[in-house]
Each structure stands twice: as structure tokens, then as C-alpha cells.
Amino acid sequence: MKLPRHRSRGAALVIAMLLTALGAAVAVQMIVPLSGWMEREYRARDTQASYTLADAASSWAITVLAADLRLGPIDHYGELWAIALPPTPVEGGTIEGRITDLQARFNLNNLAPRGVKSAANVTLAKALFTQLGVPGNLVDTLADAIDRDELTDDGQSESQRYGRGLRNAPLMRFADLLDVPGFTDGMVRSLATTMVVLPEASPINANTAPRSLIAAAFPAASSDAIDKMLLRRSQQPFANGNEVAGLLGQSTLDGVFSANSQYFAVEAVIRFERAAHRVQLQIARSLTARPRVISRLISNA
């Protein structure tokens, strides 16, 4: 009963934060109607305006995420950042957007945090690869490609086993998988539907992870037990990554889960009279510095 009121107040707050972020700068950028012969300039202005609005979307998300951090260390769907920004009129158009938690996904760089293979993450990745129809043994190859050393699990030289030297460093982007022996375009596309590549290892947030990911991590847990765990999580978010294992009656998976997030995605759609742009951002938030945009893509919506 309380939730809808809380959420509508939340939406109002989120909109207020957007309007603050938009500020006066955007008002002067709004589309000025131009006659036909100025078509080229019109398009140039569209682009300029959407870059300005992309900056506004970044400021909005950064404001929301910085405010969230001040409220405490854990992250969950009951917080302000998780409330979507509904289509909100700005001069000449609308802007809408949402922030999602990138740590609700499995990050491929978790296979070897700080260059050292993580057995628990390798096991989980094998289950997730299999769910997506990608051979599980490619996880071993990928872990060798990311881990710092030059040896396979059975002590062989990696360059001998794979016929060439591996990167021995974290992936920088999803497409880097194509340089790892055995991976194909199709596999990379499948994996990208539910996984992510972040600049460093990032435990899965137990408060935001989808059911399928929890089920893969705890294969012995019954469907009932997972339902109960999801219900409990919606009422009282986990304070740390170990609580989820305890609730499912299994031993803790070392370093696989946490209860907070540093990496978020923002997707905003900006519409003008004649143009619509999609802005996709990745934001990194640390305990010590202001959240910052680490990637930005603007495309036609």
C-alpha cells in the first residue's frame, strides 16, 4: 500500500533532479525552427542539442547516483536510482531514461580478479555459458586469456596449449573475446545478452541479480528456496554478499556476490520535433570520487 505513493514521490524527485541538471544551458540549445534551405544547419543543431542533452542525462544520472551513495553502502531496487525517469517535457521535446545496475550481470573479467583465476567464478561462468548455448570449456580458455600467468590449470604453457600467446590481461570490451581462441561472432552475441565486460572484476550484486543468475550460482537450491529468497530480498535487501548463500542453505561462494554496485548503465531517449536520439552511458562510482562516465554512445532512436 505504501509503495506506490513512495514510488510516485520518487519519480517526482527524479524529475526534479533532471530539471536541475538540465539547467539554463539546455534552454538556449532547443531547436529553432528553420526554413527548408537551412536543412543542413538544422541537422547540425539537432546534433548539438542532443549532445547537450546527453550531457544533461549524464549530470542527472551522476546526481542521482552520488545522492544514493550518501544514503548508505548497499544498493537495491527500492532506491531512487532504480526509478525510471518517465517521458518528461523539456522545451521542444521530451526526455526519458533509466539507470540499471551493471553488477546485476556476470562480468567476464571476474574470471581472474587482479590477474588471479577465481575457481568459484569459473564454475559459475561454465553454468552461464551452457545456459546460453556456448561450450563451457571455453571458460577455461578465457580464464587463461585473462589471468596474468602463462600456465594452464594442468601446468602446461598457455602458448603451447593454444598455439599462440594470450592477452594475459582483463578484457577491455566485449569484442576482445574474438581474439580469444575458440570464440565466434555468434557466441559473442549470445554472451552479450546477459553478461558484461567492466574495467575490473566486479562482484555480482545479490540485491539486483536476476533469478536465472542466482539459480546458476546455487544449482542445489530448489525453486521454492529461490522464490523465498527473492521475496525476502524485496522486503529486506541483503547487507552483504554472503547472506544469499546462507538463505539458500549453501556455502558462500568466495568473492562472487556483494550487496553494492560501482558500475551502472544509463539509457536515455531524447525526442525533438523531428529527431529522436538514444544516449547510452556507463558510469563508474567509487566511494571516494564523484561518479564518472566511462563510455558514451549516442545513436538515432
Secondary structure (3-state) at 2 = helix
Query: By C-beta, is 50 or 205 nearer to Ca ion?
Result: 205
At its nearest, how many Å lie between Ca ion and the CB of residue 27?
A: 32
C-alpha distances in Å from residue 195, one per residue of 41, 143, 198: 40, 15, 10
First to last CA, the chain: 36
Query: By C-beta, is 52 or 168 nearer to Ca ion?
Result: 168
Query: By C-beta, is 47 or 137 nearer to Ca ion?
Result: 137
Secondary structure (3-state) at 129 = helix
At its nearest, how many Å lie between Ca ion and the CB of residue 150?
A: 6
CA distance 27 to 97: 19
What is the contact surface with Ca ion in residues (CB under 5 A)? 68, 75, 144, 147, 168
Beta bridge partners of 196: 107
Name the closest residue to Ca ion (Cβ): 75
Query: By C-beta, is 27 or 116 nearer to Ca ion?
Result: 116
Cell of 43: 541537422
**Is the CB of residue 136 less than 8 Å from the CB of residue 130?**
yes
CA distance 152 to 141: 9
At its nearest, how many Å lie between Ca ion and the CB of residue 143?
A: 8
At its nearest, how many Å lie between Ca ion and the CB of residue 159?
A: 10
Query: By C-beta, is 28 or 71 nearer to Ca ion?
Result: 71
At its nearest, how many Å lie between Ca ion and the CB of residue 142?
A: 10
